[in-house]
Amino acid sequence: MKLSEVAKLIGGELTGSGEIDIINIGKIESALGNEITFIANPVYEKYFNGTAAGAVIVSKRFNPERYERLDGKKIPLIRVEDPYLAFLELLDILSPKTELQKIGIHETAVIDDTAEISDEDVRIGAHSFIGAKVKVGKRVSILPNTVILAGSEIGDDVLIYPNVTINAGTVICRKVIIHSGTVIGSDGFGQARNPDGTFQKIPQKGIVVIEEDVEIGSNCSIDRATIGKTIIHKGVKLDNQIQIAHNVEIGENTVIAAQSGIAGSTRIGKNCMIGGKVGIVGHIEICDNVILTAASNVSKSITKPGIYSGYRAQPQMMELRQEALMRNMMKKKE
């Protein structure tokens, strides 16, 4: 695609020749002459001088004269309001669309007679299994070797990657994306101790509900409720290897980074940002708009929005002061 066309597509202002052909997007450190790159974060401006890219998308506030190139070369620029958004748009335009799964039901898929599969552009991959009374909505893609057990409902436009397990009775709403290895609706960890020290399994009879626009990473575990529902509200984004125990509820648009775990019956509010490797005990509440930094552990309810961190999470200001105190004491010893 000619650079002048690229500029038009992303609504930018071209400086320099629009004649070169752009075939891909690259990182500023490694882009080649037929690739375009971008600077969204000023940290990357230091690479401007040396990049081999054919063109650079920059902010309208970017001043190339401050970064004169030693080789005297003038790289064509496209100036836009928000280079990152422009990059996202272009990424979508330039990337080849890989069709992950053909329309139709693969001949090796096993579909129960009582399952209800929409006839509108559904894709069901090889060796997948759709159990009794499962409902599959329009334009759903289910990739190879995924298992959906009896009574589950899969909303329109859902995308499920290979080797996923959806246990019986799970409700997945519209436009949800689930990555490989993830298990939804396995039994909650409920064990009642007998007088002789052995344990009796507490039947796990509830379900899991995943609301619309949720994305769930690879190798996550989301347990069914003992009674009632484990709920992931709409717009929640979960990274990989996250553990969500029975009866947990996660509020709208909360994001959780990889390897975090939330114990049973805990409720997380809306718009929270939870870092990686965070642990949250059971039966507590985290209010809306809480930020938990990576590796923090929470053992009490949090009732005020703000940033919390630490091995025993506390308001970040407290944590920082405590660390400063420790450093001071170390210095006095020296």
Stretch that binds a second copy, among 5-13, 62-70, 71-79, 198-206 (CB under 8 A): 198-206
Q: In what order do the strands lie in the sheet with 13-15?
A: 13-15, 77-80, 55-59, 35-38, 24-25
Secondary structure (3-state) at 8: helix
Work out whether 316 is an interface residue with a second copy (CB under 8 A): no
Work out whether 202 is an interface residue with a second copy (CB under 8 A): yes
Q: Mind telling me the catalytic residues?
A: 246
Secondary structure (3-state) at 78: strand
Contacting a second copy (CB under 8 A), which of 20, 147, 291, 307? Answer: 147
Work out whether 59 is an interface residue with a second copy (CB under 8 A): no
Contacting a second copy (CB under 8 A), which of 253, 284, 287, 305? Answer: 253
Cβ 35 to a second copy shortest distance, Å:
9
- Which residue, 84, 9, 16, is CA-closest to 55? 16
Distance CA 88, CA 104 (A): 30
Cα dist from 275 to 6, 210, 222, 240, 291, whole Å: 36, 21, 18, 12, 8
Q: 72-101: which residues touch a second copy (CB under 8 A)?
A: 84-85, 88, 91-92, 95, 98, 100
Contacting a second copy (CB under 8 A), which of 76, 83, 169, 269? Answer: 169
Cβ 172 to a second copy shortest distance, Å:
16
Residue 74 or 300 with smaller CB distance to a second copy: 300
Work out whether 138 is an interface residue with a second copy (CB under 8 A): no
Cβ 277 to a second copy shortest distance, Å:
4
Stretch that binds a second copy, among 11-19, 53-61, 70-78, 289-297 (CB under 8 A): 289-297
The rounded Cα 203 to chain-centroid distance in angstroms is 31
Query: Site mask, a second copy, residues 225-244, x = CB under 8 A?
Result: --xx------x-x-xxx-x-
Work out whether 326 is an interface residue with a second copy (CB under 8 A): yes
Residue 15 or 45 with smaller CB distance to a second copy: 45
Work out whether 271 is an interface residue with a second copy (CB under 8 A): yes
Cα dist from 88 to 38, 308, 334, whole Å: 10, 31, 52
Q: What is the dihedral of CA 206, 208, 211, 217, to 10 degrees?
A: 170
Stretch that binds a second copy, among 1-9, 10-18, 46-54, 273-281 (CB under 8 A): 273-281
Work out whether 301 is an interface residue with a second copy (CB under 8 A): no
Work out whether 208 is an interface residue with a second copy (CB under 8 A): no
Dihedral sign for Cα 70, 76, 82, 86, please.
negative
List of residues 6+ apart from 131 with CB closer than 8 A: 112, 115, 147, 148, 149, 150, 151, 152, 168
